[in-house]
Chains A and B, each alone.
Chain A
Amino acid sequence: MKTKTSLALLTAAASALTQADDKISLDYLSYQENNNRIKVDDYALSIEANPNVDHQIKINMGLDIISGASPAWQPKVTLVTAPNEAQQSSSSNIYGYDSAGYSVQNVSVPVEERKSAGISWLSRDKERNELTLSADYSYEPDYVSNALAANYLWFADRYKNRSYTLGASYQSNQSKVFDATYNTSWADLTATNVQLGISQVMSQRSLIDGNVFVIYDQGYLSNHYQTILRKFDGNGDGVQESYLSAEQRPEEKKGYGIASNWIVQWYKQLSTHASIRLYQDDWGINSQTFTGKSYFNLSKDWSFHLMARLYQQSAANFYKDAKEANPEFAINGYGSADHRLGEFTATTVEAGIAYEWQDSIILNGQIGNYQHDTGFAANWFSSGIIVKY
């Protein structure tokens, strides 16, 4: 009996202090939208080092190459300068007037590179509670982001079956802005995120986590490539003309939501992830996300996964679809025709396969399809390698 107890204690001690593997991973994504819209090639390198059982350092680097075109309102023929009355009456930039009218066209975007880097440091105290600090930076020709985040995880019981997390992040970003004559300048925006979570081990093969989160964005939250139509009687003839204008979103957004994830290993060969997220913000957007993912272990080395995701979103209260009978906005006030602020249902399916060689190298490949019920669709292929050392 005594031997058995000692053995159990030794096993417990060993399992609690097992040092994680150091690893390097390299991932590649090829993403293509339908109708020859945006195309992205994305490379991500991640290095994870565990110098001892109390510390972990992660370094991430990424390179995105973005090309293609994005839809926006454009003049059918050519723009003439809008009268001063229209410029002065509007709360956003008026680009001009086309007597021939306007249509939604795919506007080519120059090939753009986004470079990103991030570092995070995790430390554990004697009770194995974890403090993670991270910093991220990214640069693209029209957007710069600096982010800091802190997350604290503490265990609620001695078997470490329940844990709580409290995290906060702050982003200080800059976005390029066009003026009425397409001259550019930089505008600031910030994003704050606070999250409180709980994780509970339900059994030897099941766990549930959940969290509540709050976000607060402030500053220039518009998209400088997006345009809208505004109606105004610029020449005083009693008839309102349509002017091409920059979109204008509120300079503040408050959002909150809850999310939960349930992970179960039903059999040795089958594990599932089921998650739900509910979100709401003061722009009028409510969304519900349901995701299910299944891992099938085909053999000791090979595994296969299937993922399905359903996302539903309501429209922002300042959104007008370009296909509406009256898509124009008033000369003043918020307005956007960006379909990402509209009402839609999105479905995602993904299939992937992974091969693990001698517990030290994992090769993986995925294909996925993403569709909005409004007609937008995208496909992707991703692959990666993880090397443990």
Chain B
Amino acid sequence: MIRIAIMSSVLSLTACGHYQYLEQSNQSSQENNRYSQSNVLFTGDKPQVKKADQKNTVLKTKDEFKLTSLKQTTPELKTIAPIKTKHIETNNKESFWYQLVEIFTPEKVKPWQKSKLAKATMKPGGLTPGSEKFNQKIYSSKESSRGGLGVAGGGCGCN
């Protein structure tokens, strides 16, 4: 069963990029195209088949058998497909939006992985909280808005 799944997924990948080699009817090609888009997960170099669609995979083995035969006559197909998949992933990771989403997606950080976060420079008050307090005092005496920096602290007649 697993073997059939792997085989069908490899075939789907090859079919995805190389329809011109298929001596199938248009209907058959469209079916393979749909199949390759819906049943294969691009999760790295090794394509996988969704478990929920394994039943459909078995039903399509006849078409895939023809593809297998074709693959044997065009050995470069096996290498081309994974390279293309990897290329797409590399582009995504380098994109600004991918990195932005990655930066703002919280990770599960374990307590013993928080040594960098425990450094004084990573605290809101910074390395020298005393000088930061002086700065806030200057701003509050020369500007007409306040708030957002915690609730503790006393009043001042400076404003």
Contacts and interface: CB of A to CB of B under 8 A. Distances in A.
Nearest to A281: B145
9 contacts: A44-B130, A118-B152, A167-B152, A214-B147, A265-B122, A273-B126, A295-B127, A364-B127, A370-B138
Contacts of A181: none
Nearest to B149: A259
A303 B109 contact: no
Contacts of B106: 161-162, 200-203
Contact of A201 (B114, B128, B129): B114
A316 B144 CA distance: 9
A311 interface: yes
A145 interface: yes
Interface string B100-111: 000111111111
Nearest to B130: A27
Given A31-B138, A136-B152, A341 B144 contact: yes
Contacts of B133: 27, 44
A278 B140 CA distance: 15
Given A132-B152, A207-B117, A279 B145 contact: yes
A12 interface: yes
B151 A168 contact: yes
Q: Would you call the interface of chain B mostly helix, strand, loop, or mixed?
A: loop
Contacts of B105: 202
Most A CB within 10 A of own CB, among B111, B124, B148? B148
A137 interface: yes
Contact of A203 (B107, B146, B156): B107
A248 B61 CA distance: 87
Contacts of A136: 152-154
A295 B111 contact: no
Contacts of A44: 130, 133-134
A56 to B, nearest CB: 13
A245 B59 CA distance: 93
Contact of A175 (B104, B143, B157): B157
Contacts of B97: none
Interface string B9-38: 000000000000000000000000000000
B145 A287 contact: yes
Interface string A55-85: 0000000000010000000000000000000
Given A167-B151, A168-B151, A352-B128, A340 B122 contact: no
